[in-house]
Structure 1
Amino acid sequence: MQALEKNLIDSSWITIILVGLIALIVVLKIIDSERLKAYVFALFNKGFIESEVEEDTSFFNAFYSTLFLFSTTTLALVIYTFLIDQNLLLETSFSSFLYIFVTVVSYFLVKWILEMLLSRLFLIKNTVRFYFVSKFSYFYSISFLLFVLFVITTYSPLNSSFLFYASAVLFFMRLIFHITNNKNLIFSQLFYFILYICAFEIAPLFILFKLML
């Protein structure tokens, strides 16, 4: 069997971050083990998302803040590895990862704040609440799978391309589930949905990658 070529990255600090992510999962389990389990499988459980919408829990409580930190850190690690693999980073170090992490966290926070403000401004908070909750729930759900994929590719002979293709599949699945479960809202307001995608999805992603590079 021919060995796969693999870009080697100094993983000493990455290992520390992964241990920290495992600690965050333990914290989530201590806070609410049932909700943690539900979020792991949220991609396939529309009923759980509906219950989350009805409960209307604050984003800033301990569970959701920890979950947000876990998910954004995991995504930042995947992006960091991708940029290294494509030789798009001038320096491969913890400081480079930290910059990516701060950029990713800022992106999600600013995007979330703007979405909440606009939904309140146009008095459509209740109408689009399921849309926003499902979007974040699916992201949280696939972040656990991204974490497992990242660990496997980091500490195995698998090429980094496996991580990137698998991540692309997961995000595509998230998109499909998100559109399917919000099809009534999306297709009834298709013009505004396209404007939303351009303003809040495509443009911010372009700015995000510009900032990281």
Structure 2
Amino acid sequence: MEPIEKTIVSLDWMTIMLFTSLVVLALGKYLFHKKFLNFIILPFNDKYILLHNKKGQFSHWFHLLLTVFQLVNLSFFIFLILHSFDLVSQDSTLTNYLIILGFLALFELVKFLIQMFTAFVFNNLSLISSFVFSKISYLNYSSIIICVANILLIYISNDSKTIIYTALALIFLINGIGLTKLLKNHQKTLPPYFLYFILYLCALEIAPLVLIGSYLKG
């Protein structure tokens, strides 16, 4: 049996995309330095959430830049995981990445619109907006870890399962901290909407993960 070497044909487009995402992050830091300083300590201090969780927070340029950074790197991370476990074709890697990026961007946009529509229907826009902003902020913070993992997986240790599992553990840890702090901060306002909150978690947070997991398993 001859060994089969798993290689990625070209790193040029990967380098360009990663460099572009880092430029976006640097631009956010340069244009909104104070916000960035509050953001970078997010898991240890809720100052960023408390100061910027207000009307118009989703359309602020700093939030949008970080979301773009998150989309590019999270798509990369998903692509590299699929590549490492031989779940995607080894050909047309750029095409595969762009498909993942487009699907992820569409998924997050549709999910956000459904969340806001649900909040409007049940007249709890303020609570759900606060929850969504906090969740996206922690996901955006996780993208820094994801970016580091992407660099390691592409340039240093290709297809390393250790890097993938370590990055996933850190991502879940960071977002777990965010969820815990969110529930703690809203423990007095949440009870009247507890049923809606459970339905929200089941329909918009847990269900998509179950469906994606079932698809990958199949």
Instruction: Spell out, residue by residue over 1:70-108, the C-alpha distance to the aligned partner (whole angstroms, 9 max, x if none).
Output: 101100000000001111112441011000000111111
2:203 to 177, 194, 199: 199
Partner of 1:49: 49
Matched-pair contact (CA < 8 Å) for 2:57–2:133: no
Instruction: Spell out, residue by residue over 1:152-176, the C-alpha distance to the aligned partner (whole angstroms, 9 max, x if none).
Output: 2322136521332122212321342
Specify the code of the residue in structure 2 equivalent to 1:83: L
136-145 vs 62-71, greater mean Cα deviation: 62-71
Partner of 1:104: 104
Shift of 1:208: 5.2
Specify the code of the residue in structure 2 equivalent to 1:135: K
Shift of 1:200: 0.4
Matches within 5 A, 1:55-66: 56-66=55-65
Higher RCO (CA < 8 A, seq sep 6+): 1
26-35 vs 157-166, greater mean Cα deviation: 157-166
How far, CA to CA, are the matches of 1:43 and 1:53 in structure 2? 16
Instruction: Spell out, residue by residue over 1:97-124, the C-alpha distance to the aligned partner (whole angstroms, 9 max, x if none).
Output: 0000001111111111110111112110
Provide the aligned length of Structure 1 versus Structure 2: 207
How far, CA to CA, are the matches of 1:43 and 1:9 in structure 2? 35
Unmatched runs of 5 consecutive residues or more in structure 2: none
Partner of 1:3: none
Instruction: Spell out, residue by residue over 1:24-69, the C-alpha distance to the aligned partner (whole angstroms, 9 max, x if none).
Output: 1222123212212322321222122111114x33423432222111
Matched-pair contact (CA < 8 Å) for 1:74–1:146: yes
Shift of 1:21: 1.2
TM-score (norm 2): 0.83
The percent identity for this pair of structures is: 24
Matched-pair contact (CA < 8 Å) for 1:41–1:141: no
Does 1:39 pair with 2:39?
yes
Change in Cα spacing, 1:31 to 1:124, as seen in structure 2 (3 Å) is same
Unmatched runs of 5 consecutive residues or more in structure 1: 1-5
How far, CA to CA, are the matches of 1:130 and 1:14 in structure 2? 34
Partner of 1:153: 153
Matched-pair contact (CA < 8 Å) for 1:53–1:133: yes
Matches within 5 A, 1:2-17: 7-10=6-9, 11-17=11-17
TM-score (norm 1): 0.84
SS in 2 for 1:59: helix
How far, CA to CA, are the matches of 2:158 and 2:80 in structure 1? 13
Change in Cα spacing, 1:182 to 1:64, as seen in structure 2 (3 Å) is closer
- Aligned-pair Cα RMSD in Å: 2.7
Specify the code of the residue in structure 1 equivalent to 2:76: L
Matched-pair contact (CA < 8 Å) for 1:119–1:128: yes
